[in-house]
Amino acid sequence: MRLVARDLACVRADREVFTGLTFAVAAGEALLVLGRNGAGKSSLLRMVAGLVRLAAGSLTLEDGDPDLTIAEQAHYVGHLDAVKPAFSVKENLQFWSDFMGGGQAAGGAARVETALAAVALDRLGDVPAAYLSAGQKRRLSLARLIAVERPVWLLDEPTAALDVATQERLSGLMRDHLGAGGIILAATHGPLGLDGAGELRLGEAA
């Protein structure tokens, strides 16, 4: 499997954010998207996730499921954690599991428990999400990566609001994903603990 971008261009509010962007990420590889604020890191991830229109170029997932879009084969974790405050921690994750196709038919209940344990939220499963700290909400958002299997992870500043111990836990989860043949495209300002990850730098010509 390989995520391939050819000559991508992004225009937001009549401003050209980037153009002529070409890269490829193969199974088992991570690509870190680097650059100053406004260079288009988040826009690129949202473009791959199907949330921003391509002004030019193409995106393909070679050897992916031909009946699914790239977005349907990817997890996108953006700046907003998309947590429903009135739902419990477990209900939030179960909602996302069902919504993304990882429900009861796919052993969703057991995977939800496994995912909460993976981000150290298993003891807070019945707590309303409104009572979570910023870091705990981020961990709940990241738990979707484990609750529903998808080959491509699109992560926008995934370590935001996480303490050092949780950052190390996330690094382990990312390494496991890559070891299983997954793909990671991550916008970041800091290290993610992924030795050998490639780098894509945006906005340097400006």
Q: How confident is the model at residue 184 (pLDDT cuts 50, 70, 90)?
A: very high
Q: Give the residue with greater pLDDT, 195 vs 26.
A: 26
Domain at 23, CATH number: 3.40.50.300
pLDDT mean over 170-196? 94
In the chain, the percentage of residues whose pLDDT exceeds 70 is 95
In the chain, the percentage of residues whose pLDDT exceeds 90 is 79
Q: SS3 sequence, the chain?
A: CEEEEEEEEEEECCEEEEEEEEEEEECCCEEEEEECCCCCHHHHHHHHCCCCCCCEEEEEEECCCCCCCCHHHEEEECCCCCCCCCCEHHHHHHHHHHHCCCCHHHCHHHHHHHHHHHCCCHHHCCCEHHHCCHHHHHHHHHCHHHHCCCCEEEEECCCCCCCHHHHHHHHHHHHHHHHCCCEEEEECCCCCCCCCCEEEEECCCC
pLDDT mean over 192-204? 89
Q: Which amino acid is at 170?
A: L
> Two tokens at 74?
């990817």
pLDDT mean over 6-27? 93
User: What does pLDDT average to over the chain?
Assistant: 92
Q: How far apart are CA 173 and CA 153, in angstroms?
A: 11
CA 177 to chain centre: 12
Per residue in 172-197, is it b (16+ CB within 10 Å) or e — as a string?
A: ebbbebbeeebbbbbbbeeebebeeb
Q: Residue count of the chain, please give it.
A: 206
- To 10 degrees, what angle do helices 89-99 and 134-142 make? 30
- Looking at the structure of the chain, the number of domains it has is 1
Note the pLDDT tens digit of each residue in 141-164: 999 999 999 999 999 999 988 999
Q: Which amino acid is at 151?
A: P
How many CB atoms within 10 Å of residue 200?
Answer: 18
Note the pLDDT tens digit of each residue in 77-108: 998 888 999 999 999 999 998 888 765 545 66
Domain housing 70: 2-202
